[in-house]
């Protein structure tokens, strides 16, 4: 009998191996890291900018931005106070552990307390390519609609924190928060959730405090 391993399985196990190596490297540097995922336009870069604004006086922060093309997001992160590295995926629709490893080589990891990785805007494959970061964070946003947990369950199942961005738009957009949260609850009970608005600043402090607590925990552990 021939044992068949699909090409997809091979790709995923190679990625998992590299993710484990990344994790080890980040741990050695006591560097707390987040993999930030979302659909395009949900506000990944805006959340990173807001986080930098409130955390840069306390911590040394690096940002790695994955995009299909351009350095727009890394430039925004650098402008907001991070040491930023841009990954251009050359058309690939997610950031993988190998790309992160290459980006980590550009940074003197011991110098930083916090690493923010902005994944490529996509609600499908980033879920299955772990990077080796401490936590996976998903950003949903009000204009995307309340059905996203039902349509993209894999993204919601595996993450450690959920940001619901653009809550300032709730009065103008049809979005049933109860229906949305019921969907999240089904997939990931007790998922810590931060409703925020990058425009008004509402809820940002709670999010930033959560990040800060983890940065401190990583330092003493
Ligand atoms: Mg962005
Ligand atoms: Zn992909």
Q: Which ligand is nearest to the CA of 119?
A: 1
- The pTM of this model reads 0.95
Question: What tokens does 122 get?
Answer: 């996509």
Q: Residue-wise pLDDT tens for the chain (221 aa)?
A: 677 778 888 888 999 999 999 999 999 999 999 999 999 999 999 999 999 999 999 999 999 999 999 999 999 999 999 999 999 999 999 999 999 999 999 999 999 999 999 999 999 999 999 999 999 999 999 999 999 999 999 999 999 999 999 999 999 999 999 999 999 999 999 999 999 999 999 999 999 999 999 999 998 87
| Centroid of ligand 2 to alpha carbon of 219 (angstroms) | 33
| Centroid of ligand 1 to alpha carbon of 56 (angstroms) | 19
| Centroid of ligand 1 to alpha carbon of 4 (angstroms) | 39
Distance linking the first and last C-alpha atoms of the chain: 48
Domain 2-220 annotated CATH 3.40.50.300: yes
Q: Which ligand is nearest to the CA of 72?
A: 1
* ∠ Cα 65 131 198 (to 5°): 45
| Centroid of ligand 2 to alpha carbon of 28 (angstroms) | 29
Domain spans in the chain, listed from the N-terminal domain onward: 2-220
Q: Which ligand is nearest to the CA of 43?
A: 1
Nearest to 138 by CA among 85, 187, 70, 91: 187
Q: Which ligand is nearest to the CA of 121?
A: 1
User: 71-99 burial string, b = 16+ CB within 10 Å, else e?
Assistant: bebbebbbebbbbbbbbbbeebebbbbbb
**What is the Cα–Cα distance from 219 to 221, expressed in whole angstroms?**
6
| Centroid of ligand 2 to alpha carbon of 93 (angstroms) | 4
């Amino acid at each position: 009998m021939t044992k068949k391993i699909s090409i997809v399985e091979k790709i995923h196990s190679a990625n998992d191996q590299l993710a484990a190596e990344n994790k080890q490297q980040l741990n050695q540097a006591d560097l707390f890291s987040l993999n930030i995922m979302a659909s395009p336009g949900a506000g990944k870069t805006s959340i990173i900018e807001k986080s930098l604004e409130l955390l840069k006086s306390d911590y040394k922060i690096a940002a790695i931005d994955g995009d299909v093309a351009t350095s727009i997001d890394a430039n925004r992160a650098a402008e907001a106070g991070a040491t930023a590295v841009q990954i251009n995926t050359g058309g690939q629709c997610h950031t993988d552990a190998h790309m992160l490893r290459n980006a980590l080589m550009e940074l003197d990891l011991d110098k930083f307390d916090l690493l923010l990785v902005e994944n490529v805007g996509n609600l499908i494959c980033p879920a299955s390519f772990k990077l080796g970061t401490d936590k996976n964070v998903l950003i949903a946003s009000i204009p995307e609609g309340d059905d996203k947990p039902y349509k993209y369950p894999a993204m919601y199942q595996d993450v450690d924190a959920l940001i619901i961005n653009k809550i300032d738009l709730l009065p103008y957009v049809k979005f049933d928060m109860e229906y949305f949260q019921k969907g999240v609850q089904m997939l990931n009970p007790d998922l810590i959730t931060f409703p925020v608005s990058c425009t008004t600043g509402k809820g940002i402090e709670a999010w930033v405090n959560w990040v800060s607590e983890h940065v401190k925990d990583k330092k003493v552990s």
